[in-house]
Chains A and B, each alone.
Chain A
Amino acid sequence: MPAYLDTLTAKFPGAFATSEFRDNRRVLVSAERAGEVLVPLLRCLKDECGFDYLAELGGVDYLNYPGATDRYAVVYGLANTANAERLFVKAFANDPDPELPSVVDLWRGAEWMEREVFDLYGVRFAGHPDLRRILMPHEFAAHPLRKDYPLRGYGERHNFRSVTRAES
């Protein structure tokens, strides 16, 4: 067991689970505990365990996924710039109001990534300074990467007026 897991277990007993996939170690934070635990846990990883770089932040929708119990997850891909170690922290969220604490205070670079997750999955980030859509138009109503959103949309792509020859 790596040393950072001992540190985490000592500081946050029972607050997270771990799993492994190939050579990736993952720290899972449940939907109930994420609100209070996620930011202190990431801060501990950043300040005490050397995971100083947020390499990626992405969303997952687990609708209809075999064996899944939570609807959404946000994945924080951390990297240790000293020894190139990687760690994935996964926090879950659920309908009707999926929300997780924002990590912009820890990594400024998370700002646009959290906006993207909000835009495409509809997961809100509490404490985010500027939570607007980033890719889709602002008047767009849905969150298109959710699995219950149809591939072709609800017809938003046709909702523009046509310019005729005479008026142009």
Chain B
Amino acid sequence: MALTGLLPDFLVTRLDAVASLLRKHSLWPMPFATACCGIELMATASSRYDIARFGSEAMRFSPRQCDLMIVAGRVVMKMVPVMQRIWLQMPEPKWCISMGACASSGGVFDTYATVQGIDRFIPVDVYVPGCPPRPEQLIRAVLDIQEKVQRTGTIDAREFADRETYEGPTPLARELGPEQTIVAPGDYRTATRLRVPLN
């Protein structure tokens, strides 16, 4: 939207602030809960922790109605296209919380099937550490998103337009060679460890 050319700048700035103020108090989370972190996400929405105090209790299971994706849990290879598709289906402006060690880095699941951090494939705004994070931490993350919306938000979401490069970590270049396979059973002490190269 070419709002910037249409209206005087000070007015657009005012509109930005108003829009951000309204937006940040009515975030609609999309719960992308794939594992145990999802339980904590549900607890956050329940009466004890009550995310409704911060205006983001309206969880919707349709990405078309949401503007805050909360990825809670480990994401496997097969889920990545699904996750990207859901992310693309959400209308702009939108934000993403990567909740838990698994979503942020793969956690302890450093295996062939588990993605080592969703930020390699979709943009992430706030990371929540923990396994699982406490509901208070998730609420903190929502507050951080609110602050980010207030500080950077614009009425026509033009702040996203110039972020066109990949923002995640450097892709993992090195993978294990075939000689570093796991040792076959028979010796339980080494069965799940990586083999040290012999030379």
Greatest chain A CB density within 10 A among B113, B115, B171, B178 is at B113
Extra A-B contacts (5), CB below 8 Å, given A147-B184, A155-B175: A61-B184, A64-B184, A64-B186, A150-B176, A156-B77
- B80 contacts which chain A residues (CB < 8 A)? 160
- B167 contacts which chain A residues (CB < 8 A)? 164-165
- Across the A-B interface, give the 5 residue pairs with the lowest CB-CB distance, nearest first: A153-B112, A166-B164, A64-B184, A165-B163, A155-B175
* Chain A binding surface, main DSSP class: loop
Interface residues on A, range: 20 to 34
A168 at the interface (CB under 8 A from B): yes
A4 at the interface (CB under 8 A from B): no
CA distance A153 to B154 in the complex (A): 43
* Closest A residue by C-beta to B159: A165
- A158 contacts which chain B residues (CB < 8 A)? 116, 120, 171-172
Assess whether A147 is in contact with B87, with CB atoms less than 8 Å apart.
no
* Chain B binding surface, main DSSP class: loop
Assess whether A163 is in contact with B123, with CB atoms less than 8 Å apart.
yes
CA distance A153 to B178 in the complex (A): 9
B88 at the interface (CB under 8 A from A): yes
CA distance A154 to B162 in the complex (A): 34
B2 at the interface (CB under 8 A from A): no
Assess whether A147 is in contact with B77, with CB atoms less than 8 Å apart.
no
> With A158-B172, A164-B163 in contact, do A65 and B77 touch (Cβ < 8 Å)?
no
A97 at the interface (CB under 8 A from B): no
Name 8 interchain pairs, CB-CB below 8 A, sorted by A: A61-B184, A150-B176, A151-B194, A157-B115, A158-B120, A160-B80, A163-B87, A168-B88
Assess whether A147 is in contact with B112, with CB atoms less than 8 Å apart.
no
CA distance A162 to B169 in the complex (A): 11
* Closest A residue by C-beta to B160: A165
> With A147-B184, A156-B77 in contact, do A165 and B164 touch (Cβ < 8 Å)?
yes
Greatest chain B CB density within 10 A among A61, A148, A156, A164 is at A164
A130 at the interface (CB under 8 A from B): no
Q: Which B137-171 residues have a C-beta within 8 angstroms of A?
A: 160-168, 171
Assess whether A152 is in contact with B164, with CB atoms less than 8 Å apart.
no
* Closest B residue by C-beta to A60: B185
Assess whether A162 is in contact with B163, with CB atoms less than 8 Å apart.
no
B181 at the interface (CB under 8 A from A): yes
Assess whether A152 is in contact with B183, with CB atoms less than 8 Å apart.
no
B189 at the interface (CB under 8 A from A): no
CA distance A158 to B80 in the complex (A): 10
CA distance A164 to B88 in the complex (A): 10
CB distance from B193 to the nearest CB of A (A): 9
* Closest A residue by C-beta to B180: A150
B199 at the interface (CB under 8 A from A): no
Assess whether A157 is in contact with B171, with CB atoms less than 8 Å apart.
no
A129 at the interface (CB under 8 A from B): no
CB distance from A66 to the nearest CB of B (A): 5
A126 at the interface (CB under 8 A from B): no
Assess whether B181 is in contact with A149, with CB atoms less than 8 Å apart.
yes
Assess whether A165 is in contact with B123, with CB atoms less than 8 Å apart.
yes
A58 at the interface (CB under 8 A from B): no
CB distance from B122 to the nearest CB of A (A): 5
Q: Which of B113, B120, B161, B162 contacts A144 (CB 8 A)?
A: B113
> With A151-B176, A162-B121 in contact, do A157 and B113 touch (Cβ < 8 Å)?
yes
Q: Which of A63, A154, A166 contacts B184 (CB 8 A)?
A: A63
- A137 contacts which chain B residues (CB < 8 A)? 77-78
